[in-house]
Amino acid sequence: MIIHSEREFWQNLSVRRFRPGGERRLGLDGRLCRFAGTDAIFTAPPLLFGVTAVDDWERRLAEAGTLTPDTVDRIMQLHGDRGDKAIEAVSEKRVKEYRDFTVVVGRADEYVVEDDGCTCKDAEYNLDPDDPEQLCWHAIAVRIARAIDETDEHDMWYSDVREFL
Ligand SMILES: [Zn+2]
């Protein structure tokens, strides 16, 4: 889910459970918050408003530099089978960065991924383009590969290469 405002954030965390004046780590990224009376005071910059669960696992991946059990769990929980396919593709170096496009090699075809958008049928028919957490496995694979630096770099133009496929 995406949290757009501070109010929404607190509604989601049911802040009333916390003791006034108490202090603890909470929130999507575990920032420290302090409670004074009934008000909560952030002791760190505002939380991840507008940040999606996709951005969250991507950030964790980038920090770890590799696929950890925790990030694999998060990806699988959010994306199910699509996450599984994406992880497999990354481990097989099937995310290709060309000079002009990023391409994911599937079993039957290759797909161009740009800003989480993809040319595949899954993206076209099954996913809500307005929900940034709904990604096809190609787009997930690109996010993963970039975060852990596992893209396969090609110093070529895909528009040239594609003609030979
Ligand atoms: Zn796709």
> Same structural domain for residues 64 and 116?
yes
Quote the tokens at residue 148: 């852990």
Q: How many A from CA of 142 to the centre of ligand 1? A: 10
In a shared domain, residues 34 and 64? no
Structure tokens given for 75: 């990806």
Q: What angle do CA 73, 1, 68 make, to 5 degrees?
A: 20
Is residue 46 pLDDT above 60, yes or no?
A: no
What does the pLDDT look like over 60-116, one tens digit per residue? 999 999 999 999 999 999 999 999 999 999 999 999 999 999 999 998 899 999 989
Measure 126 CA to ligand 1 centroid, in angstroms.
10
- Residue 109 CB neighbour total at 10 angstroms: 11
Q: Which domain holds residue 12?
A: 6-42
In a domain, 1, yes or no: no
- What sign does the CA torsion over 86, 131, 3, 1 have? negative
Establish if 48 belongs to a structural domain: no
Within-domain flag for 47: no
The verdict on 80 and 28 lying in the same domain is no
Count of the separate structural domains present in the chain:
2
d(CA 162, CA 159): 5
pLDDT at 45: 39
The three-point CA angle 7-127-75 to 5° equals 65
Q: Are 119 and 34 in contact (CB under 8 A)?
A: no
Check if the beta carbon of residue 101 is closer than 8 Å to that of residue 95.
Answer: no
pLDDT, residue 108, reads 87
Run of H or E residues at 36: strand 31-36
Q: Is the pLDDT of residue 2 over 70?
A: no
**Range with the poorest average pLDDT among 11-15, 59-63, 131-135, 150-154:** 11-15
CA 63–ligand 1 middle distance (angstroms): 25
What is the reported pLDDT for 33? Answer: 47
* Residue carrying structure tokens 């170096």: 93
Ligand 1 center to residue 122 CA distance, Å? 6
Cα 133 to ligand 1 centre (Å) = 14
Q: What is the pLDDT of residue 163?
A: 72
Block residue for tokens 């990030």: 71
Tens of pLDDT, residues 108-138: 899 999 989 999 999 999 999 888 899 999 9
Centre of ligand 1 from the C-alpha of residue 18, in Å: 42
Across the chain, how many H-helices and E-strands are there? 7, 8
Q: In the prediction, which pLDDT does 18 show?
A: 41
> Residue 113: beta bridge partners?
102, 118
Q: Residue 12 pLDDT more than 80?
A: no
The structure's pTM equals: 0.71
Q: Are 147 and 61 contacting, i.e. CB atoms less than 8 angstroms apart?
A: yes
Q: Which residue has the higher pLDDT, 77 or 11?
A: 77
